[in-house]
Each structure stands twice: as C-alpha cells, then as structure tokens.
Amino acid sequence: MYQRYIQIPKIIETKSIFLVGPRMTGKSTLLREALPEALYLDLLDADLFRRLSARPDHIRELIRDETKVVVIDEVQKLPEILDEVQRLIDRNKDLRFALTGSSARKLKRGAANLLGGRALYLNLHPLISAELEDDLRILDRINRGGLPALIDSDHYERELGAYVGVYLREEIQAEGLTRSIGNFGRVLETAALCNGQQVNFTQIGSDSQVPPRTVSDYFQLFEDTLIGSILPSFRKSKSRKAVATPKFYFFDTGVARVLSRTSQIQIGSKSFGDAMEHLVYLELKAFMDYTFSNAKISYWRSESQIEVDFVINEDLAIEVKGTENVTASHLKGLKALSEDFPEMKKFVVSLEPRSRIVDGIHIVHVDEFLKKLWNGEILRG
C-alpha cells in the first residue's frame, strides 16, 4: 500500500472536497483509509442509487447527529444530489463532504450544482515519484505507468490492456458519452500515437477516418473524463515568434504506451526520450495540483522549430533529454528562450549521473530533479 502525498484529513478539516481522477487512480481507497469514520455512500450500489435518484433528500435520513464527514463515491452518476449537498453544508457548518468522480462531463453538461466554492477541487493523479520513493527505476515507471492497482502486478502488461478496454466500455459506452464507440476507439489510439505532440485534428481525423470536428469533440471528451490534458503553447517570446498549436498528453505513461501499441520501451530509443518527457510533465502537473499552485505550465516552440519542453510562468524552463551525454545541441532551445527571458531558471533533465551547470543551465539526472521537485526546490507550492 502506498502512502499518498495529498493529505485528505488535513484538507477536509476546513472544507468539503471534490476528489476527481481517472478510474483506478485510488480515489475510493484513499478516502476509505483517510476517513475511516465517515458515512460512505457508493453510487455504484444499485439500491442506494435507486433510492437517492427517486428522493435526493433521502440523504438527510442517512446522516446521524454524530456524522462529521460524508463520502459520496461516483457523484457524477447523480448530479442532482449536489443541490441537497449544498443545502446540508449551508445548514451545518461543521459537516464536510468528500465527493469523488472520474468524469466531469455529466456535471458540466448537466449544469450541475458545483457547490459555488463550498468544496475544494482536487485532482488525484496516478502514483508519483514522492509516493514511490525508490521502489521503481525510471524505465519501470515509464512502461508500467502509475495506476496503484497495476504498478506492482506481475501481469501489468495484460492488465493495462484490460484497463483500456474497461475505460472504453464503462466510461464511454455505458455512460452514453458518444454514439460510435468504434470511431472513438480509433481516435483514441491515433491520439496515443501523437501523445506529447502538437494536436492536429485534421491529420488525426484523416488517420482515423473521422471528421475533424468530431475529433475535436473527442479531445474535449478526453479532458472531461480526465484521460488526458492539453498543454498550451508559451507565446510571450518577442525575438522569435512562437507557434500557437497546443500539445496533448495522456494521464499515464503506461496507458499511453499500451494504447499506441508500443512494446516495452528501452533506454536509448526515441520512444524512451518521448516517454521520459511525458513522465516529467505528469510529475510537474501533479505537483502543481497537489500544492494548489497558481503557476501555468506550457511549452515553447518557435516557428523555426526551436523548442523547450516545458515553461512555467516566465520563471522556469525545462528540457527533457533521455541521454547520458547532454551536448551543446541539447541546450539550443533553452538558450534561444533566454534571449527574451535571461532571468528564467533553466534545467535539462537527463540521465547524466552527475549534476553540472553549463552557461547557467542546470543539467541534472531525472531522479534528482524529481526529488528536488517534491522537496519544493524547483517550484514553490
């Protein structure tokens, strides 16, 4: 069992929470362990769902005087209950709710009551380096991903494949989120082949035989169901005009690998460099979510195709290279961006065993970088 970084008991002392995240990231397990005394209502329980669907105010009858925290699992299955949750919060300032969900789509599309600031929104990610400590090498993390139920499995390859099938069947088809599961599946696999690259709806549509407008809708669905996120471009550079097209990353390296039908990734391959970049992005995003940072993450690419993998505000630039020998050519993007932002702190995250500084650029091993990140030495929470 892994000790999760996010401290639910401390957070819920002051405010109710929406805990969201893709399937099998451990939301239910985390809340059961962190809040053992809570009243737990699972909307996957058919009888409970039926009763609350007919009468959302039935929840009042389930809450006792001694109840301090109520957990409602899979709240997106019954958005109407949120009106009753708000009434209960307003009437009892000491009562807290922990609401979980794996999709924001039904809440958004149903114009659900999102509690008007009465609940803190928390995104639970797959396992991060601070939770794994030294249990897994970087290559294992890339191939296995970070889903808690799968990461230690001897059969993780098969189980990742089953996870993708469950996602397609239950999250999309069973909830009626798209009319054509076949079209969606083709776009999903094509998107995985383009993971970490600029999003081109026309090209993806052509490759998957789906109209570009439908592809655009599916990418919105990816975001709503938390299976991926858009990385916007950084466009504040003046000396070199930047491209505007965003990138897209899946929420987990193992899931992205299996979806793209990529076999085991090996160090030294192009796939390894791309996957290490993906992993660093996921760690940065998780850090910003878990520390409630207001920082904005983006990437920078000039029209002449000079690129920096990640830019955070105007303060930090990060290039990821899956090599043990960082050369001058690997520093090109960071140096170009420095022309407009000379005070920006710059890192190359690599496999070099010893840290060094070249022209103000910090070259560090990926393990050291991630330790510094979660110690608060790279970004401030």
What does the pLDDT profile of the chain (381 residues) look like in tens digits? Answer: 789 999 999 999 999 999 999 889 999 999 999 999 999 999 999 999 999 999 999 999 999 989 999 999 999 889 889 999 999 999 999 999 999 988 766 665 544 556 777 889 899 999 999 999 765 688 999 999 999 989 989 999 999 999 988 776 666 766 566 667 788 888 989 999 999 999 999 999 999 999 999 999 889 888 888 889 999 999 999 889 999 999 999 999 999 999 999 999 999 898 999 999 999 999 999 999 999 999 999 999 999 999 999 999 999 999 999 999 999 999 999 999 999 999 999 999 999 999 999 999 999 999 999 999 999 999 986
What span, in angstroms and rounded, lies between the C-alpha atoms of 333 and 331?
Answer: 6
Q: Where are the chain's structural domains?
A: 8-123, 133-374
Q: Which amino acid is at 72?
A: I
What span, in angstroms and rounded, lies between the C-alpha atoms of 102 and 110?
Answer: 15
Continuous H helices in the chain: 8-12, 27-34, 46-54, 59-62, 81-91, 105-109, 129-132, 138-144, 156-166, 181-193, 201-208, 212-224, 253-259, 270-290, 332-338, 366-374
b/e burial code for range 327-366 (CB count within 10 A of at least 16 → b): eeebbebbbbbbeebeebebbbbbbbeeeeebeebbbbbb
pLDDT digits (tens, 9 = 90+) for 33-50: 999 999 999 999 999 999
What span, in angstroms and rounded, lies between the C-alpha atoms of 255 and 227?
Answer: 9
What span, in angstroms and rounded, lies between the C-alpha atoms of 266 and 275?
Answer: 10
What distances in angstroms separate CA 108 from CA 77, 113, 170, 224, one per listed residue?
12, 9, 19, 9
Q: Is 267 helix (H, G, I), strand (E, B) or coil?
A: coil
pLDDT of residue 180: 75
Q: Report which of 179, 317, 175 is spatially closest to residue 242, judged by C-alpha positions.
A: 317
160 contacts: CB under 8 Å, gap ≥ 6? 144, 145, 147, 150, 254, 255, 257, 258
Q: Report which of 291, 251, 288 is spatially closest to residue 25, judged by C-alpha positions.
A: 251
94: phi then psi, degrees, rounded to nearest 5: -95, -10
Q: At CA 319, angle to CA 315 and CA 322, rounded to 5?
A: 155
Lookup: tokens for 2 = 């892994």
8 A C-beta contact, residue 176 and residue 170 = no
Instruction: Report the run of H or E that residue 101 belongs to, with start and end.
Output: strand 96-101
pLDDT of residue 114: 64
DSSP sequence for 32-66:
HHH-TTSEEEETTSHHHHHHHHH-GGGHHHH--TT
pLDDT of residue 117: 78
pLDDT of residue 101: 86
Domain spanning 8-123, CATH architecture: 3-Layer(aba) Sandwich (3.40)
8 A C-beta contact, residue 185 and residue 168 = yes
Q: Report which of 373, 349, 346 is spatially closest to residue 288, judged by C-alpha positions.
A: 373
pLDDT digits (tens, 9 = 90+) for 69-96: 999 999 988 988 999 999 999 999 999 9
Length of the chain: 381
Q: Report which of 196, 165, 371 is spatially closest to residue 287, judged by C-alpha positions.
A: 371
pLDDT of residue 111: 42
Greatest pairwise CA separation for the chain in angstroms? 68
Q: Is 230 helix (H, G, I), strand (E, B) or coil?
A: strand
Q: What is the pTM of this model?
A: 0.93
Helix %, strand %, coil % of the chain (to 5)? 45, 20, 40
pLDDT of residue 106: 60
